[in-house]
Structure 1
């Protein structure tokens, strides 16, 4: 009886129908859903800067979920230490830029998120290291950091700020776009996703959607001028857009399966 009710559930019926479609149809449905969501946000949110703040708040909520898991369950099973270390690195770079360039709510949110991330790294590395799946978390992150740093040396914004500020700005944009890869790689190898870890990654996906919506709306509202407000340079604006798209697609696949389950 319970199984037949579950099969008649509209959500299960909908996802069952989607699963039976071809890749092209699934891609079309995904793009359509994303465009509809963007249109809804465009009508709902008047100040588009609020979307960027919302993205940072949702990221912070994801960290709170991890803190709850570590403190209540006393285990870090399923969590990627390497993803948390990459997150701490790019947040440190972004906070440095924020302190010297912005001095606003973003600085406060980045500070809180960085402190929480460092606490998570400490718990995984030292307090709960016996539950850490080290053999599954083996994606080499030093290559990722080096590649992002090298890319930031050559492709960075041209503004009135110091070279170090511009380098760190580009570095954190590039590193953030790939920081979740070790976590997703670990999930694929484990073939089982811890619930709280899944909630955390889903929060990252929602945050990325808000961040992407912020970029799109600002570009539309300024008639394309916003792209050059983030810094000039022949390759810099396209690289920022590419980094946003890469991170969005990396998380979109996980979010689809998260909602489906």
Structure 2
């Protein structure tokens, strides 16, 4: 039942213009939301411009250096990873600090990239059959490796005082050694040469663990995550998801010849990608919510 006061309130907030009734409160809320969105986008101009430039580069590569085949997803995955490291360089150079970046994660990513390139630069077994596998795929990985080295040098020299070593405590040597052991025991044979097959598999296994130090560091510090740092992790997650999508459809190619025996290598690849996506799931939940609500990304502090 509508009271007299409610009716008076409605009359006070309703206006008729040209025979159309307007609700002033709804208009006010809409204007407020627009103003907040505008402030949000103005505050994140660097990220918006970076993403726009990345999309343009992707479109150019697709137009001139790809056949549009399904295997081009692998090249797209490498492109997202490369873009992730570009974001870190932009963050360090524009903000003058390396706060929130894990050197342990950078080292593991660098090892993974170097190991994979030892295979993909000299052998064709794990390259996309799409035209982008001729050189674009490898070029993206080479650039990613160069950027990881550059970021690491900047963090150890010019911006050393801003590195948060107290939060970057996740062990990385033991997981890397475990990945090497697993790669030796379980690996595909598409290159038909053990060192090259081992190098590719080792890179993949290390890569599956490489973001754990970064996620641990964010959780250890807790609180608001700087925008470019969050976009870095999200871009890496996109890269991993695309690679996972490719291997879900292609893992059978990694199995034993003539289809005899269990496909340990194929399932090893799927488990590696699945593990890292699960590790990134909680971060992505908070990341998507922050974008949806137009707010800063807040990570709960780890109770350690």
Q: Is the 8 A contact 1:81 1:125 kept in 2?
A: no
Hey, what does 1:85 align to over in structure 2?
107
* Pairing 1:195–2:227 present: yes
Instruction: Tell me the matched-pair count.
Output: 215
Which residues of structure 1 form unaligned runs of 5+? 10-44, 220-225
Report the alpha carbon displacement of residue 55 of structure 1 after superposing the two structures with TM: 1.3
Distance 2:190 2:86 in 1: 35
Give the TM-score normalised by the residue count of structure 1: 0.76
Q: 1:130 aligns with which of 161, 167, 177?
A: 161
Aligned 1:136-147 pairs, distance under 5 A: 136-147=167-178
Hey, what does 2:91 align to over in structure 1?
69
Aligned 1:159-238 pairs, distance under 5 A: 159=190, 161-192=192-223, 193-216=225-248, 219=249, 226-230=250-254, 232=256, 234=262, 235-238=264-267
Alignment RMSD, CA only? Answer: 2.2
The 3 A distance-change label for structure 1 pair 196 and 256 is: same
Q: Any runs of at least 4 consecutive aligned residues in structure 1 with deviations exceeding 6 A, and if so which?
A: none
> Which is helix-richer, 1 or 2?
1
Using CA pairs under 8 Å that are at least 6 residues apart, name the structure with larger relative contact order, 1 or 2. Answer: 1
> Which is strand-richer, 1 or 2?
2
The structure whose Rg is larger is 2
Which residues of structure 2 form unaligned runs of 5+? 1-24, 34-66, 125-133, 291-304
Give the TM-score normalised by the residue count of structure 2: 0.66
Distance 1:160 1:242 in 2: 21
Hey, what does 1:17 align to over in structure 2?
none
Report the alpha carbon displacement of residue 213 of structure 1 after superposing the two structures with TM: 2.1
Hey, what does 1:115 align to over in structure 2?
146
The 3 A distance-change label for structure 1 pair 74 and 175 is: same
Report the alpha carbon displacement of residue 251 of structure 1 after superposing the two structures with TM: 1.8
